[in-house]
A and B are shown apart, each in its own frame.
Chain A
Amino acid sequence: MLFKFAFRNVMRNKKRSFLTALSIFFAALIVCFAQGWVFGLFEMLTSGMINYQSGNVRIITEEYKNREKFLPVDEIINNSDEIIMRIERYSEVKYVEERIRFGIMLGKDETTVFGLGIGIDFDNKTFNLKQKVIKGNIQNNGIAIGKDLAQKLGVDVGEELLLATKTSEGGLNGIKLPVTAIITTGMKAFDKKVFFISLENAKKLLKIRNGTTEIYIYTKQHEDSEIVQERIKEFLPEGTIALTYKEQLGGLIEFIEIEKKIIYFIFAIIIFLASFVVINTMIKAVFERLREIGTLKAIGMTDRDMFINFTIEGSIIGAFGGVLGSLAGLLILIYLNNKGVDVSAAAEGSDIPFESIIYPPYNFSFFVVTAIFSIIIPALSSMIPAKLTKKFTPSEMLRKI
């Protein structure tokens, strides 16, 4: 009954209730949208990092970990083929990839640029290079080079490039390979410094025999990382370690967790701000209905009944705006997810692997979380004006014009 009563009171002043709900609508819309946007970016960032830097589990040598920033090529995991074959048989594992990364000074004519070479199996699923070719085609005995790096160096498909660098044995070695493909990963930070060669060529160049520098393991579910890690640990050769992405990206994940809390707090504040409009409306509703409240009290309603009544009234308005606003926010996300947002300017100057066009993800949970936020906060806010009903005695209220 209280609900019906409150609902009719909401409908009593439609314009006002609509405007009040509208404020919550906009607040919910921005919150739902921001959730997709910010958490979407976080999600992209973590999955980018997992794809390119950490795998779900990565096997390296202990020394490699200490010197990782130099991408040492003399820290070799021996018998890597055997290890890979064993891990591939696990049911939790999606795929296992061998990768050899090395820093190199690339030169062509007068140009000198620092590059990051990556030796991979060209059928590699993570980079999925064949999809990313913009010119030429991937060939096992060639170089697939990032678009911006190619431009810097002034090389084109068909030209040869001399790769010269320090080998795992300490000496210098060089091989000449033709550029057969120009690729774009969609990430500026990558495109301007990365090139790919086959594992065989990488091993030849760096004189790595019967081993590799890094093994990346991708599990079907992120949650399986620890299980796989445990199983691998049992047969890892001396001096090598298997690290989960959480262990490797600890700082990032921690940062994101803190950031998420801050962002939820900001969300709450936004909806609370919008709830000011609810508070205002409900204060007005209480004052213009003092005589009614007095009458209801005279016929036996308690203070609590009245308090609940007005709280429900404010909550209905809030919930109405909140649910529709969350829905609208979700729809905007779906739209942008299809269309994409160009953030190349922001991606330009930074080292973070970030795609230039972002497709903010949408998730039904964004809707649910926002709806919960925007139902609870206006409801709590309505309690402030609802308390006013207790301030006057019934006889005082009955005397009001």
Chain B
Amino acid sequence: MKFLFSLSLKNIIRYKKRTILTFLILSFGIAFYIWMDSFIDGLNEQSFDNVINFETSHFKIQSEKYDEDKPFSEDNFMNNYKEVVTALEGTDFIESHTTRIKFPAELDNSIDSTPCLVIGIDQEQDKKVFILPEFIEEGSLKPGCAMIGKKLAASMDVKVGDFIYITFREAKGMFNSIEMEVSGIVFSPDPGTNNSTVFINLSEAKEFLNTEGVTEIAIKTNNRDKYKKYKVALQKSIPDYKIQSWIDMSQNFLAISKMKKKFSFIFVYFIIIIALVGIINTMLMSVLEKKREIGTMKALGFTDGDILKMFIFEGAIIGVLGSIFGIILSIILNWYFVEHGIDMTTMMEGFGTDNMGYKIIGIAKSTWSIKPMINSIIICVIASVAASYYPAKQATKLQPVECLRTIQ
């Protein structure tokens, strides 16, 4: 076995150029695949970070009947949220928590109006869960005032010290409009926060909506990756609430990435087929030109099985070399996109949208993903072994006498 393997290795080294040309196709194919997958993972990772750091933290607890489209319904509010917090006290994996009120409104600068999301925050608690304060660019959230996203401010042409009107609908269906001074501007990497959010103090939000409750409790745990286990635990301690993990909140863009990965894979699939055809071709050439050698080996007592194994090893080595080189290539390619990324701004502007489905502003960066690399090695080796089977089989079919007679 070892001997056969070393024979295969020698054959590969004997035709260096040909081997390299053969596995390079494979390498380029998987390099593209790894890079594409890593880049999409990078987009997801960035989006996850924004979801966790600015929107939902690790878990979002809401009233059981919460309905986003009925923002002012009584059912959306948890009046007994203090009980919930007490119930969760002592849960070992919870690091911190905060309460928020979210409701949609229209923001008006007395000329134009635009939809926005008003978030009432408890500043003391909020900073233990979210990282909003790090991104306040100007001013702060003062009592009786509002702090708004930078892009929203720019498009409404308001500055710190200017007044805005927030119009919303009360539970009874009445429209209500409140005038507020802008006391802070926040510039965060989260498009939602940046483009359409108005922060106010939680106590004031309660007043406006005339409620004692909040719409959500955000919980930060000690390990975001244990969301499945923690969710079960949370459901046990507070069964009557709607509990969503950060992954649940990310389903939207996860569906998009799945689709994108699928499309890029179709593409890669074809490149791999091309590579396989190349491998079959190369191996077939190698079988034909080694006719005399194969004949001699058979005459010396090699079995068909030995010959078959020898060529299949050759295929496997091509596969391994192809994947190693492909991984190296993908690392080089990915390096740039991890370090520098692509500036999505022009693309977004081109499409006239703030939202390509991902929660990213400006520069989109790739990440390092192990999974596509492992997949690549498996794909390459299996595929090239499969491709070498036919030529190897041809080699075993050759008759020793016949082989020895051929000049070449």
Asked whether, in the complex, the Cβ of B258 is within 8 Å of the Cβ of A345, the reply is: yes
**In the assembled complex, B120 has its CB within 8 A of some CB on chain A:** no
**Once the chains are docked, how many angstroms separate the CA of A351 from the CA of B356?**
7
Binds A, one of B6-14, B108-116, B235-243, B368-376: B108-116
**In the assembled complex, A34 has its CB within 8 A of some CB on chain B:** yes
Asked whether, in the complex, the Cβ of A345 is within 8 Å of the Cβ of B115, the reply is: no
Residues of A within 8 A of B70 (CB): 109-112
**In the assembled complex, B281 has its CB within 8 A of some CB on chain A:** yes
Residues of B within 8 A of A231 (CB): none
**Once the chains are docked, how many angstroms separate the CA of A343 from the CA of B263?**
10
* CB-CB under 8 A for A273 and B274, given A112-B72, A280-B282, A281-B281: yes
Asked whether, in the complex, the Cβ of A23 is within 8 Å of the Cβ of B277, the reply is: yes
* CB-CB under 8 A for A273 and B271, given A69-B114, A112-B71, A284-B18: yes
Residues from 124 to 181 in A contacting B, C-beta threshold 8 Å: 152-153, 164, 166, 172
Residues of A within 8 A of B25 (CB): 273-274, 276-277
**In the assembled complex, A121 has its CB within 8 A of some CB on chain B:** no
Residues of A within 8 A of B (CB): 15-16, 19-20, 22-23, 26-27, 29-30, 34, 45, 49, 53, 67, 69-70, 72, 103, 105, 107, 109-114, 152-153, 164, 166, 172, 249, 251-252, 254-256, 269-270, 273-274, 276-277, 279-281, 283-284, 288, 343, 345-346, 348-352, 401
B99-133 Cβ-contact flags toward A at 8 Å (1 or 0): 00000101000011111000000000000000000
**In the assembled complex, B171 has its CB within 8 A of some CB on chain A:** yes
Asked whether, in the complex, the Cβ of B350 is within 8 Å of the Cβ of A252, the reply is: yes
**In the assembled complex, B3 has its CB within 8 A of some CB on chain A:** no
**Once the chains are docked, how many angstroms separate the CA of A401 from the CA of B292?**
13
**Once the chains are docked, how many angstroms separate the CA of A20 from the CA of B279?**
10
Residues of A within 8 A of B329 (CB): none
Of A23, A273, A283, A350, the residue contacting B355 (CB under 8 A) is A350
Of A26, A109, A113, A172, the residue contacting B277 (CB under 8 A) is A26
**Once the chains are docked, how many angstroms separate the CA of A105 from the CA of B166?**
13
Shortest Cβ gap from B261 to chain A (Å): 11
Closest B residue to A115 by beta carbon equals B115
* CB-CB under 8 A for A153 and B274, given A254-B350, A255-B350, A349-B355: no
**Once the chains are docked, how many angstroms separate the CA of A34 from the CA of B270?**
11
* CB-CB under 8 A for A350 and B350, given A19-B280, A107-B169, A277-B274: no
Shortest Cβ gap from A363 to chain B (Å): 20
Can you report 25 A-B residue pairs in the complex whose CB atoms are below 8 A from each other?
A19-B281, A23-B274, A30-B271, A45-B351, A67-B112, A70-B112, A103-B113, A110-B72, A111-B67, A112-B71, A251-B346, A270-B271, A273-B28, A274-B274, A276-B21, A276-B24, A277-B25, A280-B278, A280-B285, A283-B17, A288-B408, A345-B256, A351-B353, A351-B354, A401-B408
Residues of A within 8 A of B167 (CB): 105
**Once the chains are docked, how many angstroms separate the CA of A351 from the CA of B192?**
13
Number of B residues near A (Cβ < 8 Å) is 61
Residues of B within 8 A of A152 (CB): 69
Residues from 142 to 165 in B contacting A, C-beta threshold 8 Å: 155
Residues of A within 8 A of B285 (CB): 16, 280-281, 284
Residues of B within 8 A of A252 (CB): 350-352
**Once the chains are docked, how many angstroms separate the CA of A184 from the CA of B63?**
32
**Once the chains are docked, how many angstroms separate the CA of A245 from the CA of B129?**
46
**Once the chains are docked, how many angstroms separate the CA of A288 from the CA of B285?**
11
Of A30, A111, A343, the residue contacting B69 (CB under 8 A) is A111
**In the assembled complex, B273 has its CB within 8 A of some CB on chain A:** yes
Shortest Cβ gap from A68 to chain B (Å): 10
Asked whether, in the complex, the Cβ of A351 is within 8 Å of the Cβ of B21, the reply is: no
Residues of A within 8 A of B21 (CB): 276-277, 279-280
Residues of A within 8 A of B64 (CB): none
Residues from 389 to 408 in B contacting A, C-beta threshold 8 Å: 407-408
Residues of A within 8 A of B256 (CB): 345-346, 348-350
Residues of B within 8 A of A113 (CB): 69
Of A164, A254, A343, the residue contacting B259 (CB under 8 A) is A343
**In the assembled complex, B347 has its CB within 8 A of some CB on chain A:** yes
Asked whether, in the complex, the Cβ of A72 is within 8 Å of the Cβ of B347, the reply is: no
Of B115, B350, B356, B408, the residue contacting A105 (CB under 8 A) is B115
**Once the chains are docked, how many angstroms separate the CA of A113 from the CA of B105?**
10
Asked whether, in the complex, the Cβ of A273 is within 8 Å of the Cβ of B350, the reply is: no
Shortest Cβ gap from B178 to chain A (Å): 15
Residues of B within 8 A of A351 (CB): 353-355
**In the assembled complex, B80 has its CB within 8 A of some CB on chain A:** no
Give 5 new A-B contacts, CB below 8 A, not counting A114-B106, A270-B271.
A26-B270, A105-B106, A110-B171, A254-B350, A401-B408
Closest A residue to B103 by beta carbon equals A112
Shortest Cβ gap from A272 to chain B (Å): 9
Asked whether, in the complex, the Cβ of A15 is within 8 Å of the Cβ of B347, the reply is: no
**Once the chains are docked, how many angstroms separate the CA of A21 from the CA of B326?**
24
Asked whether, in the complex, the Cβ of A26 is within 8 Å of the Cβ of B273, the reply is: yes
**Once the chains are docked, how many angstroms separate the CA of A69 from the CA of B112?**
9
Residues of B within 8 A of A114 (CB): 104, 106, 115
* CB-CB under 8 A for A23 and B281, given A53-B352, A277-B25: yes
**In the assembled complex, B222 has its CB within 8 A of some CB on chain A:** no
**In the assembled complex, B212 has its CB within 8 A of some CB on chain A:** no
**Once the chains are docked, how many angstroms separate the CA of A345 from the CA of B262?**
12
**In the assembled complex, B289 has its CB within 8 A of some CB on chain A:** yes
* CB-CB under 8 A for A26 and B274, given A70-B112, A112-B71: yes
Residues of A within 8 A of B69 (CB): 111-113, 152-153
Asked whether, in the complex, the Cβ of B113 is within 8 Å of the Cβ of A164, the reply is: no
Closest B residue to A37 by beta carbon equals B263
**In the assembled complex, B267 has its CB within 8 A of some CB on chain A:** yes
**In the assembled complex, B207 has its CB within 8 A of some CB on chain A:** no
Closest B residue to A346 by beta carbon equals B259
Which of A110, A252, A283: most chain B CB closer than 10 A? A110
Which of B73, B111, B255, B278: most chain A CB closer than 10 A? B278
Residues of A within 8 A of B352 (CB): 49, 53, 249, 251-252
Residues of A within 8 A of B113 (CB): 70, 103, 166
**In the assembled complex, B260 has its CB within 8 A of some CB on chain A:** yes
Residues of B within 8 A of A288 (CB): 289, 408
